[in-house]
């Protein structure tokens, strides 16, 4: 039998294989033994080198959670469901969270009569600095606008406006504010949904994107409607709208979990514009992302975990911040994992996170944002009620 190859011999490299030991060196048996020893040793060496090559050349970014971000909230505040997150040019992180999602025991210091020392619902809109400290917070009902019944999307555009929307049953409006919370304008109004062809009323908008060059706002519309709608960023005038495959949207209730469905399901949960002008749309219930040109022309689609039921597998995406936006980071709230995929062909190169309640795990991971350094910020709804930061472990973009 050939002699076993030790870990030390493998680590020593190919030079250690030049003189394999034999109990009967010089005999025919010994020569065969020596040749077999070489074969075994080279197989082990090749395997070790391949393993090392694979670990050194794994594709795409990898991440670890920062369990100490953000810092503890001030003012005895507590977060409810954290619906959405955005990052501004300074690396500040903004969230839109649902204070009405808190249970009575979670907001025990806020109810009357008071039932416990903690806690008080935090305001809906919170800005954090890169270290995780609260910079400011605002939001909620006010004069001249209709605050959403259930908070959802948030966007900061290059002109300093904060866009806010909701997915409550009658949330047919979108609001804009200054960064310090001063109300600017309301698009649409609260009330019954008028359908996916109505240019003035929205259907529970989930997400936004902004084309600064054209001064156009894109809405993923949404939980009630089945469309992407594009408006003038100032006046709100309709520019265009489309459904799945670039077709006119309809409100015929589609069969869910159908990766070839002729229309979007509900919700149309994300819309993002890449540097090259391609528009990415999350059709969550149908487990797919469809890609369009800005005029609504269909380009291609990517399908992920097509057997996923429940709430679907494609919740949100963000671009990796290199010049080519080589990768997409994807949220899957049904399977409670994050995916890294090549933007060119949608191939998944890695995943991170899993179901659970510890740091680095998820319960209903919902939406995300990525800053210029490649840090990923994830939000959780249902009873996850959390914001987490993920640090790239293999270098910045």
List the domain boundaries for the chain: 7-56, 63-392
Q: pLDDT > 70: what percent of the chain?
A: 85
Residue 43: pLDDT band with limits 50, 70, 90 = very low
pLDDT of amino acid 397 = 85
Using the predicted structure, report yes or no on whether residue 391 has a pLDDT greater than 60.
yes
Rounded Cα–Cα distance for residues 134 and 376 (Å): 18
Residue 108: pLDDT band with limits 50, 70, 90 = very high
Over residues 63-75, the mean pLDDT reads: 98
Cα dist from 299 to 219, 222, 246, 278, 292, whole Å: 19, 21, 9, 9, 5
pLDDT, tens digit, 9 for 90 and up, residues 138-197: 999 999 999 999 999 999 999 999 999 999 999 999 999 999 999 999 999 999 999 999
- Omega within 30 of 0 (cis) for the link into 294: no
- Chain mean pLDDT for the chain: 89
Using the predicted structure, report yes or no on whether residue 31 has a pLDDT greater than 60.
no
pLDDT, tens digit, 9 for 90 and up, residues 181-240: 999 999 999 999 999 999 889 999 999 999 999 999 999 999 999 999 999 999 999 999
CB 83 within 8 A of CB 76: no
CB 346 within 8 A of CB 358: no
CB 365 within 8 A of CB 351: no
CB 236 within 8 A of CB 257: no
Pick one of 2.60.420.10, 2.120.10.30, 3.40.50.10490, 3.40.640.10 as the CATH number of 63-392: 2.120.10.30
pLDDT of amino acid 50 = 38
Over residues 355-376, the mean pLDDT reads: 98
pLDDT of amino acid 18 = 36
The residues pairing with 125 across neighbouring beta strands, listed in sequence order, are 96, 138
Contacts of 314 (CB under 8 A, 6+ apart): 269, 270, 282, 283, 284, 287, 288, 289, 304, 330, 332
pLDDT, tens digit, 9 for 90 and up, residues 265-292: 999 999 999 999 999 999 999 999 999 9
Residue 7: pLDDT band with limits 50, 70, 90 = very low
Which pTM value belongs to this model? 0.86
Q: How many CA atoms lie within 13 A of 62 on its CB side?
A: 7
pLDDT of amino acid 25 = 38
- Rounded to 5 degrees, what are φ and ψ at 77? -75, 155
Q: Which residue has the higher pLDDT, 4 or 31?
A: 31
Q: C-alpha angle with apex 339: 368 to 274, nearest 5 degrees? A: 60
Using the predicted structure, report yes or no on whether residue 24 has a pLDDT greater than 50.
no
Q: pLDDT > 90: what percent of the chain?
A: 82
């Amino acid at each position: 039998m050939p002699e076993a190859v030790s870990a030390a011999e493998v680590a020593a490299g190919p030079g250690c294989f030049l003189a394999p030991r034999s109990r009967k060196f010089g005999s025919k048996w010994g020569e065969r033994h020596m040749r077999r020893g070489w074969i075994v040793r080279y197989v082990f060496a090749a395997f070790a080198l391949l393993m090392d090559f694979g670990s050194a050349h794994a594709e795409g970014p990898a991440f670890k959670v920062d369990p100490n971000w953000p810092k503890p909230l001030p003012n005895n505040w507590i977060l409810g469901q954290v619906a959405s997150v955005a990052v501004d040019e300074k690396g500040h992180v903004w969230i839109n969270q649902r204070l009405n999602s808190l249970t009575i025991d979670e907001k025990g210091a806020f109810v009357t009569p008071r039932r416990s020392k903690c806690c008080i619902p935090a305001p809906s809109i919170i800005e954090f600095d890169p270290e995780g400290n609260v910079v400011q917070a605002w939001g909620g009902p006010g004069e001249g606008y209709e605050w959403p019944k259930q908070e959802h999307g948030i966007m900061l555009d290059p002109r300093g406006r904060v866009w806010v929307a909701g997915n409550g049953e009658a949330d047919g409006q979108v609001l804009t504010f200054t960064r310090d919370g001063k109300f600017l304008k309301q698009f649409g109004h609260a009330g019954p949904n008028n359908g996916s062809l109505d240019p003035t009323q929205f259907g529970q908008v989930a997400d936004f994107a902004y084309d600064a060059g054209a001064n156009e706002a894109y809405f993923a519309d949404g939980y009630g409607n089945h469309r992407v709608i594009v408006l003038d960023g100032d006046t709100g005038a309709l520019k265009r709208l489309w459904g799945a495959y670039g077709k006119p949207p309809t409100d015929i209730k589609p069969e869910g979990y159908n990766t070839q469905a002729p229309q979007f399901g509900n919700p149309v949960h994300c819309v993002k514009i890449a540097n090259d002008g391609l528009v990415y749309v999350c059709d969550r219930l149908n487990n797919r992302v469809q890609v369009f040109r800005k005029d609504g022309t269909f380009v291609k689609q990517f399908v992920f975990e097509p057997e996923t039921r429940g709430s679907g597998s494609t919740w949100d995406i963000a671009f990796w911040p290199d010049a080519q936006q080589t990768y997409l980071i994807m949220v899957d709230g049904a399977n409670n994992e994050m995916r890294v995929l090549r933007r060119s062909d949608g191939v998944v190169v890695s995943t991170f996170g899993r179901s659970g309640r510890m740091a680095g795990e998820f319960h209903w991971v919902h939406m995300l944002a990525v800053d210029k350094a490649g840090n990923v910020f994830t939000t959780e709804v249902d009873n996850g009620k959390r914001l987490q930061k993920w640090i790239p472990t293999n270098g910045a973009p």
